[in-house]
Amino acid sequence: MSLTLLILFLFLAALGVPLAVALGLGTLATLWWFGLPMSMITQSMATSINSFLLIAVPLFILAGQIMERGGLSERIFDAAESLIGRCRGGLGHVNIVSSFVFGGISGSSVADIASLGPITIRSMTSRGYPLPYAAAMTLITSTLATLVPPSILIIVAAAAAGVSVGGALAGGLGPGILLAVALAGYNAWISGRRGYGMRVAFDGRRAVRAFLRALPSIGAPIIILTGMFSGIVTPTEAAGLAVLYTLLIAGVLHREIGWRDMVQLTIQAGRTAGAVLLILMVARAATYAFTVDQLPRKASGWLAVFDGSGFTTLLFMRVIFIVVGMFMDIVAAALMLIPVIMPAAVHAGIDPMHFLIFMSACLAVGLATPPVGTCLFATAYVSGVPIPRLIVAALPFYAINMAVLVLIAAFPQIVLWPVALLS
């Protein structure tokens, strides 16, 4: 039964049917064929989004859009640039830091490229970095937003997996920092060797001014994350406050956003959330079919062949995650993989939280890889670098990403320590 569903899904998806519709129709046809109640599709869809936690999704999307349009990202970049941009490879580090901070509010990798990408790439090339390197760096740093809290992918995945959303968001922090540090290390090394980036005299006055100008923008993720992780507010409430805060800064302080923009951004956030959450809704219905078919138990049986430690099991799963992530929208991929593979992972002795974050980190790689990578396309679009060239330039970064994944698989503490700290 599960096989029928999966084959139907893949067939429809290959024909260009939206992923959510392909999964929904595959499920509907399977329910009908095996004589299960077809009304389950509507039931599952209705119950899956009747959730206060998921309200965080449209709100964090909206906050990210306000940041992008309201001049917050630009100020964050300026401040980082005037502080650390002067040394060799400095702008590469700026690229990493500003994507990290941006991800601390928006949770969307594509939004990161659209808003920070053009500024970063332009500044890097004007300081003597090769364009493909600047673009590839922007491409990889954008995936940080999918790991650093609040990540939209992690919110949706945690809700689907039935683990604590706040905990899962904290779990993304360790891998996010690790990836950022690894990228910074590589950037420092290669920039030193190849002489990327001109040295510019440090202008203390300008640095202080840029920092003060960016202070409210940098403050946003700090306020939001502290509020959320100290337990004063829930993730959903943090998202509401994030909208209010970014709006105050963009509208009142920067005066870069007006009523007309706000109307447009609000509607866009609702539409995007609808598209993301439709996948969640149909995935819930598919999960019903998988459960009736006892697919999770079967998958545990298959994986038992590996009869190894959690580490080897995760390394094997990494291959599946990355291949799936290369072809599919990552939210859809996560929601398909969770019901099938998570029970098997737990059976193999892997902590559910560790599994979930590891999976998200693997899928995030898929955003930047061919043949289907939203971030890859977006970066090619904003930088003007042809996709094949961009892929070649990004090869060392993919390698770093792989190495980081091995570390995350080997050391569950990277994920679990911040989670434990939270609870």
Q: Find the binding residues for another protein in span 223-252 (CB under 8 A).
A: 233, 236-237, 239-241, 243-244
Q: How far apart are the first and last CA of the chain?
A: 40
User: Is residue 195 within 8 Å of residue 171, measured between CB atoms?
Assistant: no
270 binds another protein (CB under 8 A): yes
Given the rule CB under 8 A, which of 90-98, 161-169, 298-306, 330-338 is the region that contacts another protein? 330-338
Given the rule CB under 8 A, which of 51-59, 75-83, 296-304, 353-361 is the region that contacts another protein? 51-59
331 binds another protein (CB under 8 A): yes
What are all long-range contacts of 75-81, with beta carbons under 8 Å and residues at least 24 apart? 75/210, 75/213, 75/214, 75/217, 75/254, 76/101, 76/102, 76/214, 76/217, 76/218, 77/116, 77/119, 77/120, 77/123, 78/210, 78/213, 78/214, 79/210, 79/211, 79/213, 79/214, 79/218, 81/123, 81/210
264 binds another protein (CB under 8 A): yes
Among 277, 283, 393, 419, binds another protein (CB under 8 A): 277
Among 94, 97, 110, 169, binds another protein (CB under 8 A): 110
57 binds another protein (CB under 8 A): yes
Nearest distance, CB of residue 121 and another protein, angstroms? 14
Nearest distance, CB of residue 394 and another protein, angstroms? 17
Among 2, 24, 135, 288, binds another protein (CB under 8 A): 24
User: Is residue 78 within 8 Å of residue 213, measured between CB atoms?
Assistant: yes
- Non-local (6+) Cβ contacts of 420 within 8 A are none
Among 43, 125, 291, 300, binds another protein (CB under 8 A): 43
Nearer to another protein, 5 or 110 (CB): 110
Nearer to another protein, 257 or 419 (CB): 257
Among 2, 5, 58, 418, binds another protein (CB under 8 A): 58
User: Is residue 317 within 8 Å of residue 345, measured between CB atoms?
Assistant: yes
Nearer to another protein, 24 or 92 (CB): 24
- Non-local (6+) Cβ contacts of 80 within 8 A are 93, 94, 97, 98, 101
Nearer to another protein, 336 or 416 (CB): 336
Among 5, 6, 30, 59, binds another protein (CB under 8 A): 59
CA-to-CA distance for 377 and 207, rounded, in angstroms? 34
Nearer to another protein, 52 or 202 (CB): 52
Helix (H) or strand (E) holding 88: none
Closest CA to 335 of 386, 401, 269, 288: 288
Nearer to another protein, 17 or 253 (CB): 17
Among 13, 163, 210, 289, binds another protein (CB under 8 A): 13
Helices 90-106 and 56-69 cross at an angle (nearest 10°) of 140
**Residue 78: how many CB atoms within 10 A of its CB?**
24
CA-to-CA distance for 85 and 78, rounded, in angstroms? 9
Q: What is the footprint of another protein within residues 169-208 (CB under 8 A)?
A: none
CA-to-CA distance for 342 and 355, rounded, in angstroms? 7
User: Is residue 364 within 8 Å of residue 316, measured between CB atoms?
Assistant: no
User: Is residue 2 within 8 Å of residue 293, measured between CB atoms?
Assistant: yes
76 binds another protein (CB under 8 A): no
300 binds another protein (CB under 8 A): no
* Structure-token pair, residue 96: 């990493």
17 binds another protein (CB under 8 A): yes
Q: What is the footprint of another protein within residues 359-418 (CB under 8 A)?
A: 367, 371-372, 374-375, 377-378, 381-382
Nearer to another protein, 5 or 276 (CB): 276
Among 5, 6, 9, 61, binds another protein (CB under 8 A): 61
Q: What is the footprint of another protein within residues 122-151 (CB under 8 A)?
A: 146
